[in-house]
Amino acid sequence: MKLGQIRHNNMPMAAIFENGQARVIRGHTALDVVKDPKLISKAYAPIDATPILPIHPPEVWGCGCTYETSASFRDAEHGTREGMYAYVYREARPEVFFKGTARVCTGPGEPIGLRVDSKFTAPEPELALVIGPGNSIFGFTLANDVSAWDIERENALYLTQSKVYDRCCALGPVILTADSVADPYRFDMTCTLSRNGKVFYEGAVNTSKLHRKLETLVEFLTRANTVPVGTVLLTGTGIIVTHEAALAPGDVCTITIPEIGTLSNTAAVVG
Protein backbone atom coordinates (compact mmCIF):
# COMPACT_ATOMS: atom_id res chain seq x y z
CA MET A 1 0.00 0.00 0.00
CA LYS A 2 1.15 3.53 -0.78
CA LEU A 3 0.30 6.21 1.76
CA GLY A 4 0.93 9.87 1.10
CA GLN A 5 -0.69 13.27 1.22
CA ILE A 6 -2.54 15.56 -1.18
CA ARG A 7 -3.59 19.18 -0.82
CA HIS A 8 -7.34 19.20 -0.20
CA ASN A 9 -9.22 22.43 0.64
CA ASN A 10 -5.74 23.94 1.09
CA MET A 11 -4.87 21.43 3.83
CA PRO A 12 -2.49 18.46 3.69
CA MET A 13 -4.64 15.36 3.85
CA ALA A 14 -3.71 11.66 3.99
CA ALA A 15 -4.45 9.57 0.92
CA ILE A 16 -3.94 6.04 -0.29
CA PHE A 17 -2.48 6.04 -3.80
CA GLU A 18 -3.76 3.34 -6.17
CA ASN A 19 -3.59 3.13 -9.97
CA GLY A 20 -2.45 6.75 -10.26
CA GLN A 21 -5.36 8.08 -8.16
CA ALA A 22 -5.75 9.10 -4.53
CA ARG A 23 -8.29 7.88 -1.98
CA VAL A 24 -8.48 10.70 0.57
CA ILE A 25 -8.73 10.07 4.30
CA ARG A 26 -10.63 13.26 5.13
CA GLY A 27 -9.68 15.24 8.19
CA HIS A 28 -6.47 13.31 8.79
CA THR A 29 -2.82 13.70 7.85
CA ALA A 30 -0.44 10.88 6.97
CA LEU A 31 1.10 11.33 10.43
CA ASP A 32 -2.32 10.54 11.96
CA VAL A 33 -2.46 7.35 9.86
CA VAL A 34 1.04 6.24 10.89
CA LYS A 35 -0.03 6.71 14.52
CA ASP A 36 -3.34 4.90 13.95
CA PRO A 37 -3.33 2.66 10.83
CA LYS A 38 -7.03 1.80 11.40
CA LEU A 39 -7.81 5.18 9.77
CA ILE A 40 -6.99 3.58 6.39
CA SER A 41 -10.48 2.04 6.42
CA LYS A 42 -11.90 5.61 6.14
CA ALA A 43 -10.40 6.19 2.65
CA TYR A 44 -12.93 7.62 0.14
CA ALA A 45 -13.45 6.83 -3.55
CA PRO A 46 -10.47 7.55 -5.84
CA ILE A 47 -9.91 11.05 -7.27
CA ASP A 48 -7.21 12.59 -9.47
CA ALA A 49 -4.66 14.33 -7.25
CA THR A 50 -0.94 14.99 -7.08
CA PRO A 51 1.13 13.76 -4.15
CA ILE A 52 2.70 16.42 -1.91
CA LEU A 53 5.13 15.90 1.00
CA PRO A 54 4.07 12.37 2.08
CA ILE A 55 4.29 13.13 5.81
CA HIS A 56 5.06 16.13 8.03
CA PRO A 57 7.57 14.34 10.25
CA PRO A 58 8.00 15.56 13.82
CA GLU A 59 11.72 14.77 13.47
CA VAL A 60 14.07 13.72 10.69
CA TRP A 61 17.37 11.99 11.42
CA GLY A 62 20.11 10.90 9.05
CA CYS A 63 22.58 8.04 9.03
CA GLY A 64 25.98 8.51 7.42
CA CYS A 65 28.74 6.40 5.87
CA THR A 66 26.46 3.37 5.55
CA TYR A 67 27.73 2.67 2.01
CA GLU A 68 31.43 2.16 1.31
CA THR A 69 31.29 4.77 -1.48
CA SER A 70 30.19 7.49 0.95
CA ALA A 71 32.85 6.67 3.58
CA SER A 72 35.78 6.39 1.14
CA PHE A 73 34.78 9.52 -0.81
CA ARG A 74 34.60 11.56 2.39
CA ASP A 75 37.95 10.32 3.75
CA ALA A 76 39.62 11.14 0.40
CA GLU A 77 37.84 14.47 0.03
CA HIS A 78 38.59 15.63 3.57
CA GLY A 79 42.11 14.16 3.69
CA THR A 80 41.48 12.69 7.13
CA ARG A 81 44.66 11.05 8.45
CA GLU A 82 42.76 8.80 10.82
CA GLY A 83 40.16 7.60 8.29
CA MET A 84 37.35 9.12 10.38
CA TYR A 85 34.62 8.09 7.94
CA ALA A 86 36.01 4.55 7.43
CA TYR A 87 35.90 4.21 11.21
CA VAL A 88 32.14 4.79 11.44
CA TYR A 89 31.58 2.63 8.35
CA ARG A 90 33.40 -0.24 10.08
CA GLU A 91 32.49 0.09 13.78
CA ALA A 92 29.32 -1.18 15.45
CA ARG A 93 27.95 2.31 16.19
CA PRO A 94 26.68 4.04 13.03
CA GLU A 95 26.75 7.78 12.41
CA VAL A 96 23.31 9.19 13.30
CA PHE A 97 22.67 12.93 13.08
CA PHE A 98 19.69 15.23 13.49
CA LYS A 99 18.50 16.48 10.09
CA GLY A 100 15.63 18.68 11.25
CA THR A 101 11.86 18.74 11.46
CA ALA A 102 9.02 19.17 8.94
CA ARG A 103 10.16 22.81 8.75
CA VAL A 104 13.14 21.86 6.53
CA CYS A 105 11.29 19.24 4.45
CA THR A 106 10.16 19.75 0.89
CA GLY A 107 7.87 17.56 -1.22
CA PRO A 108 7.82 16.26 -4.79
CA GLY A 109 8.13 19.05 -7.37
CA GLU A 110 9.09 21.66 -4.76
CA PRO A 111 12.48 23.43 -4.61
CA ILE A 112 15.45 21.93 -2.75
CA GLY A 113 17.77 24.42 -1.08
CA LEU A 114 21.26 25.58 -2.00
CA ARG A 115 22.77 27.56 0.85
CA VAL A 116 23.79 31.01 -0.30
CA ASP A 117 27.23 30.45 1.34
CA SER A 118 27.96 27.08 -0.36
CA LYS A 119 29.71 26.54 -3.69
CA PHE A 120 29.47 22.74 -3.65
CA THR A 121 26.06 21.44 -2.64
CA ALA A 122 25.27 17.86 -3.60
CA PRO A 123 22.16 15.70 -3.61
CA GLU A 124 22.33 12.59 -1.42
CA PRO A 125 19.70 10.15 -2.71
CA GLU A 126 18.65 7.85 0.12
CA LEU A 127 16.11 5.26 1.15
CA ALA A 128 14.18 6.68 4.12
CA LEU A 129 12.27 4.84 6.84
CA VAL A 130 9.10 6.08 8.50
CA ILE A 131 9.05 4.96 12.13
CA GLY A 132 5.76 3.54 13.36
CA PRO A 133 4.46 2.67 16.86
CA GLY A 134 6.93 0.74 19.03
CA ASN A 135 9.89 1.83 16.85
CA SER A 136 8.63 -0.44 14.05
CA ILE A 137 9.40 0.32 10.41
CA PHE A 138 6.04 1.58 9.10
CA GLY A 139 7.24 2.13 5.54
CA PHE A 140 9.76 3.42 3.04
CA THR A 141 10.04 6.61 1.05
CA LEU A 142 12.68 8.39 -1.01
CA ALA A 143 14.81 11.14 0.45
CA ASN A 144 17.29 13.68 -0.78
CA ASP A 145 19.68 14.56 2.07
CA VAL A 146 20.81 17.72 0.27
CA SER A 147 24.15 18.73 1.80
CA ALA A 148 26.69 21.54 1.48
CA TRP A 149 29.75 19.34 1.03
CA ASP A 150 32.21 22.27 0.94
CA ILE A 151 31.05 23.38 4.41
CA GLU A 152 31.32 19.78 5.73
CA ARG A 153 34.82 19.51 4.18
CA GLU A 154 36.05 22.77 5.74
CA ASN A 155 35.72 21.37 9.26
CA ALA A 156 33.97 18.31 10.72
CA LEU A 157 32.37 20.53 13.38
CA TYR A 158 30.48 22.34 10.61
CA LEU A 159 28.51 19.16 9.79
CA THR A 160 25.25 20.53 11.20
CA GLN A 161 25.45 23.68 9.07
CA SER A 162 26.18 21.58 5.97
CA LYS A 163 23.17 19.37 6.69
CA VAL A 164 20.43 21.47 8.29
CA TYR A 165 19.00 24.54 6.60
CA ASP A 166 15.87 25.57 4.69
CA ARG A 167 14.66 22.97 2.14
CA CYS A 168 17.56 20.59 2.89
CA CYS A 169 15.42 17.44 2.95
CA ALA A 170 13.20 16.30 0.10
CA LEU A 171 10.81 13.40 0.77
CA GLY A 172 8.34 11.52 -1.41
CA PRO A 173 6.44 10.88 -3.50
CA VAL A 174 4.67 8.33 -1.22
CA ILE A 175 5.34 5.94 1.66
CA LEU A 176 5.38 2.30 0.58
CA THR A 177 4.23 0.38 3.65
CA ALA A 178 6.58 -2.26 5.02
CA ASP A 179 4.00 -5.04 4.61
CA SER A 180 4.20 -4.54 0.81
CA VAL A 181 8.00 -4.95 0.69
CA ALA A 182 9.43 -8.46 0.43
CA ASP A 183 13.07 -7.40 0.73
CA PRO A 184 14.20 -3.78 1.30
CA TYR A 185 17.80 -4.80 0.50
CA ARG A 186 16.89 -5.29 -3.16
CA PHE A 187 15.77 -1.82 -4.18
CA ASP A 188 17.39 -0.37 -7.31
CA MET A 189 17.84 3.39 -6.90
CA THR A 190 18.81 5.79 -9.66
CA CYS A 191 19.57 9.49 -9.64
CA THR A 192 19.85 11.91 -12.55
CA LEU A 193 20.77 15.57 -12.57
CA SER A 194 19.72 17.72 -15.49
CA ARG A 195 20.40 21.31 -16.52
CA ASN A 196 18.42 23.09 -19.24
CA GLY A 197 16.75 19.77 -20.08
CA LYS A 198 20.07 17.87 -20.53
CA VAL A 199 21.18 15.11 -18.17
CA PHE A 200 24.70 15.87 -16.87
CA TYR A 201 24.99 13.22 -14.15
CA GLU A 202 23.61 9.71 -13.73
CA GLY A 203 24.19 7.44 -10.74
CA ALA A 204 22.75 4.19 -9.43
CA VAL A 205 23.00 1.91 -6.42
CA ASN A 206 21.23 -1.16 -5.09
CA THR A 207 20.30 -1.25 -1.40
CA SER A 208 22.10 -4.62 -1.18
CA LYS A 209 25.24 -2.43 -0.84
CA LEU A 210 23.92 -0.95 2.41
CA HIS A 211 26.42 -1.98 5.08
CA ARG A 212 23.89 -1.92 7.96
CA LYS A 213 20.68 -3.67 8.82
CA LEU A 214 17.77 -1.21 8.86
CA GLU A 215 16.75 -2.48 12.31
CA THR A 216 20.27 -1.69 13.58
CA LEU A 217 19.95 1.90 12.38
CA VAL A 218 16.56 2.20 14.11
CA GLU A 219 17.97 0.60 17.26
CA PHE A 220 20.83 3.13 17.48
CA LEU A 221 18.52 6.04 16.69
CA THR A 222 16.11 5.08 19.46
CA ARG A 223 18.69 4.03 22.06
CA ALA A 224 18.23 6.37 25.03
CA ASN A 225 16.35 8.64 22.59
CA THR A 226 12.54 8.40 22.51
CA VAL A 227 11.64 9.64 19.03
CA PRO A 228 8.00 10.39 18.18
CA VAL A 229 5.99 8.11 15.91
CA GLY A 230 6.27 9.39 12.33
CA THR A 231 9.95 10.24 12.67
CA VAL A 232 11.80 9.77 9.38
CA LEU A 233 15.24 8.15 9.29
CA LEU A 234 17.43 8.61 6.21
CA THR A 235 19.60 5.53 5.73
CA GLY A 236 22.62 7.13 4.02
CA THR A 237 23.69 7.68 0.45
CA GLY A 238 25.31 5.19 -1.88
CA ILE A 239 25.34 7.60 -4.82
CA ILE A 240 28.18 10.12 -4.73
CA VAL A 241 28.09 12.85 -7.37
CA THR A 242 31.28 14.26 -8.87
CA HIS A 243 32.64 17.78 -8.28
CA GLU A 244 31.57 18.75 -11.79
CA ALA A 245 28.01 17.84 -10.81
CA ALA A 246 27.73 20.41 -7.98
CA LEU A 247 24.12 21.65 -7.97
CA ALA A 248 23.38 25.04 -9.53
CA PRO A 249 20.10 26.98 -9.32
CA GLY A 250 17.57 25.49 -11.76
CA ASP A 251 19.16 22.01 -11.84
CA VAL A 252 16.64 19.19 -11.55
CA CYS A 253 17.45 16.19 -9.33
CA THR A 254 15.38 13.07 -9.98
CA ILE A 255 15.57 10.04 -7.70
CA THR A 256 13.72 6.80 -8.48
CA ILE A 257 13.06 3.47 -6.81
CA PRO A 258 10.49 1.86 -9.15
CA GLU A 259 8.50 0.25 -6.32
CA ILE A 260 8.17 3.64 -4.52
CA GLY A 261 8.13 6.15 -7.38
CA THR A 262 10.07 9.22 -8.46
CA LEU A 263 11.08 12.25 -6.41
CA SER A 264 12.01 15.22 -8.56
CA ASN A 265 13.07 18.65 -7.25
CA THR A 266 14.61 21.80 -8.67
CA ALA A 267 17.52 23.46 -6.87
CA ALA A 268 17.05 27.04 -5.66
CA VAL A 269 19.19 29.34 -3.53
CA VAL A 270 17.99 29.84 0.05
CA GLY A 271 19.15 32.49 2.47
Q: Does 4 bind ligand DO4 (CB under 6 A)?
A: no
Contact set for ligand DO4, span 78-97 (CB under 6 A): 95
Q: Binding string to ligand DO4 for residues 41 to 80, with x set by CB under 6 A, is what?
A: ---------------------x-xx----x---x------
Q: Does 95 bind Mg ion (CB under 5 A)?
A: no
Minimum distance between the CB of residue 100 and ligand DO4, rounded to whole angstroms?
A: 13
The DSSP code sequence of the chain is: -EEEEEEETTEEEEEEEETTEEEEETT--HHHHHH-GGGGGG--S-B----B-S---S-EEEEES-SHHHHHHHHHHHT-TT-HHHHHHHSSSPEEEEEE-GGGEE-TTSEEEEETT-S-EE--EEEEEEE-GGG-EEEEEEEEE-EEHHHHHH-GGGHHHHH-STT-EEEEEEEEEGGG-S-GGG-EEEEEEEETTEEEEEEEEEGGG--S-HHHHHHHHHTT--PPTT-EEEEEE-----GGG---TT-EEEEEETTTEEEEEEEEEE-
Q: Does 145 bind ligand DO4 (CB under 6 A)?
A: yes
Minimum distance between the CB of residue 85 and ligand DO4, rounded to whole angstroms?
A: 6
Q: Does 152 bind Mg ion (CB under 5 A)?
A: no
CB nearer to ligand DO4: pick between 44 and 98: 98
Q: Does 237 bind Mg ion (CB under 5 A)?
A: yes
Q: Does 124 bind Mg ion (CB under 5 A)?
A: yes
Q: Does 59 bind Mg ion (CB under 5 A)?
A: no
Minimum distance between the CB of residue 202 and ligand DO4, rounded to whole angstroms?
A: 19
Minimum distance between the CB of residue 12 and Mg ion, rounded to whole angstroms?
A: 25
Where on the chain is the footprint of ligand DO4 (CB under 6 A)? 62, 64-65, 70, 74, 95, 124, 145, 236-237
